[in-house]
Structure 1
Amino acid sequence: MISSLIKTLFYRRTDAMFTDQETAEFELMLRNTDSEGSVRYESKFPKYRFIDYVVQNKNMVVHGSNRTDIDQFEVRRQTLFNGQPVEAVFASKDGIWSIFYAILDRSKVVYNFRNGCIKTASDMRYYFFSLTEPTYASDPWTTGSVYFLPADAFERTTRSKAYFDEWVCRQRIHPVMKLSINKEDFVYLNKVAVHKPNESIALTWLLYKFRTRSKR
């Protein structure tokens, strides 16, 4: 029931297995990471594929940020998807969602923004991204970085069958490496909707696909 509702409201991502060529190129880039942990990206494959490859094969989680100079993540008071406050470092296990946070210029956000990566028990992934009209009109995209962090330090925020892909670490932590990101790396750029600042989250979800269906 829940999975059917999520499938109706949001965009589902379907990926093929990693090819031998992807694996070879990604492993080579990992070996050639520089002394500061920066990945020199040299591949025709989209960056979210590389991020997911590292997450799935190297026991990592990821954090997207506009900042490109973070050498230690500090615990901060933040809010989980369900509104529960928590003091933690946030991360996810999803390449596309982390890229969104890397390129959205938070200084240009007016009122609020709404987004999510929802996973199901069958390991399907669903997305929604929505900004207010003043935010969208300001061209709120910038460059940033996706940081890779050791997954063993993080725990998932919920054990439900359908869940937001949020992971938290309750202590300061150093990134293992980072990848430069720009808006061309965000493959859901044409799936960003516009919502009214004061509308309910339920209405934003209900209208999400309708608001983005005419975008190219």
Structure 2
Amino acid sequence: MRPWMVTTPPVERSQEVLNALHAVLETKDPARWRAGAPRWLLLDGLAGKGHLLHGSSRGDLSAFAPRTPHDLSPDEFSKRTGVFAASDGLWAMMYALRDRSRAARMLNMALQVQQPGGEWSSMRYFLSLAPRDPAVTDGRSLLSPGFVYVLPRAGFEQMPPYDWPGLGTVREPHWVSPDGVRPLLCVPVTPADFPLPVRRHDAARVDALCAADPWGFPWLSENGA
């Protein structure tokens, strides 16, 4: 694995946590989640039950309409017009928690790498934000409270596995529906709920590096852009 890839911290999924997940699913009320349990575990459990997740800074949405995203990656799937969602809670949280008033751009990733025997690795992550104010040096300060919407999987298509030069065959928890979607419930999240490191980068520099080497993700040194 590349040194910039990170994984989730080890957490025990106790029976109390499993019971709380069941209660949230039954009542569609995220307040039924077990107090003190990591909020990302709730999202992970919802995805494990077959739901998809969509992160947003807004908590008042009752439907999602197809749109064409601004995407710099080399694949065509991410440039489709549709409603995008994730089958991974932490990836959805990245979109929910980004403070768009302070972070001009986001550079992120969630993927698994196919192992020699054909099985898939655990999920690997990366998150970096480009501040609008160049004086900002702390990536986590560019996060703000947000919301993760839980969506039905019907009508969605997952991005097929693909070859990443120098890394191998990978797959992303990346899904798209060509049609509008109504959420099943909405889960509030805060920066304190996000368990992974958040880096920062210069948007213009990374854009230039990306144009010169589309597969060079994340285009950052070990100490930043």
Instruction: Tell me the residue number matched to 1:73.
Output: 64
Compared CA separation, residues 182 and 16, structure 1 to 2 (3 A): closer
What RMSD over aligned residues (CA atoms) do the two structures have, in Å? 2.5
* Structure 2 counterpart of 1:43, from 35, 43, 58: 35
Worse-superposed segment, 123-132 or 61-70: 123-132
Show the counterpart of 1:106: 100
TM-score, L = length of structure 2: 0.77
1:128 alignment counterpart: 126
- Cα deviation, 1:63-90, whole Å, max 9, x if unaligned, reads 0100101111000012554353210101
- Once structures 1 and 2 are overlaid, which stretch shifts more, 94-103 or 63-72? 94-103
Q: Counterpart of 2:68 in 1: which secondary structure?
A: strand
Conserved? CA contact 2:149–2:186, under 8 Å: yes
Tell me if structure 1 keeps the 8 A contact 2:62–2:182.
Answer: yes
Change (3 A) 1:135 1:103: farther
Correspondence 1:173 to 2:175: no
1:82 to 48, 55, 74: 74
- Provide the C-alpha distance between the structure 2 equivalents of 1:203 and 1:124, rounded to a whole number of angstroms: 19
Name structure 2 gaps, 5 residues minimum. Answer: 115-119, 163-168, 211-215
Number of residue equivalences: 198
Question: For the Cα contact (< 8 Å) 2:201–2:220, is it kept in 1?
Answer: no
TM-score by length of 1: 0.80
Q: CA deviation at 1:105?
A: 1.8
Alpha carbons of 1:154 and 1:14: their partners in 2 closer, same or farther (altered >3 Å)?
farther
Ranges in structure 1 where 5+ consecutive residues have no aligned partner: none
User: What is the CA-CA distance between 1:205 and the residue it aligns to?
Assistant: 4.3
Contact 1:13 1:124 in 2 (8 A): no
Task: Give the partner amino acid of 2:109.
Answer: G
Residue 155 of structure 1: aligned partner: 157
Q: Secondary structure at the match of 1:53?
A: helix
| Shift in Å, 1:102 | 0.8
Larger relative helix fraction: 1
